[in-house]
């Protein structure tokens, strides 16, 4: 299992990845209360808007949680770029989070996702 983390200010996020055969499972947690907030499954496919790759992504969100957009972004990027089936479980809770901190979290997740892609491509 690969684990990578990032911290900016009071926000720390951890991403753990595990290969299950040819498929990729990723757990994303952080903040003041890690939990299961959303689960996504992405299946790679050819892009429908031109040449290249994309993915179809399904999302399940726990009532009252807002982790779905973060999970969707991570899952879709990983599946499209690695061309693998991907499941992401995401739960990040930061007490009293501000709009600026939400943007920080999304930027951190984008950077962590790219780091994970680089690590996965090195092992393929």
CA distances from 72 to 1, 19, 79, 112, 122 (A): 21, 19, 11, 14, 24
* pLDDT in the model for residue 116: 95
Cβ pair 1, 15 in contact under 8 A: no
* pLDDT in the model for residue 30: 96
Which domains are seen in the chain, by residue range? 2-123 (3.30.230)
Closest by CA position to 91, among listed 54, 43, 39: 39
* pLDDT in the model for residue 121: 67
* pLDDT in the model for residue 1: 79
Q: What is the pLDDT along the chain (124 residues), one digit of tens a residue?
A: 789 999 999 999 999 999 999 999 999 999 999 999 999 999 999 988 888 999 999 999 999 999 999 999 999 999 999 999 999 999 999 999 999 999 999 999 999 999 999 987 676 5
* pLDDT in the model for residue 114: 96
* pLDDT in the model for residue 120: 78
d(CA 87, CA 35): 16
Beta-carbon count within 10 A of 53 CB: 13
């Amino acid at each position: 299992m690969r684990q990578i983390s990032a911290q900016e200010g009071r926000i720390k996020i951890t991403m753990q990845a595990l290969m299950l055969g040819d498929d990729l499972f990723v757990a994303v947690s952080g903040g003041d209360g890690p939990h299961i907030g959303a689960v996504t499954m992405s299946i790679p496919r050819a892009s429908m808007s031109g040449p290249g790759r994309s993915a179809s992504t399904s999302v399940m969100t726990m009532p009252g949680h807002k982790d779905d957009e973060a999970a969707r972004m991570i899952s879709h990027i990983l599946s499209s770029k690695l061309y693998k089936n991907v499941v992401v479980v995401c739960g990040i809770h930061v007490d009293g989070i501000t709009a600026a901190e939400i943007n920080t979290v999304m930027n951190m997740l984008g950077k962590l996702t790219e780091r994970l892609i680089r690590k996965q491509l090195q092992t393929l």
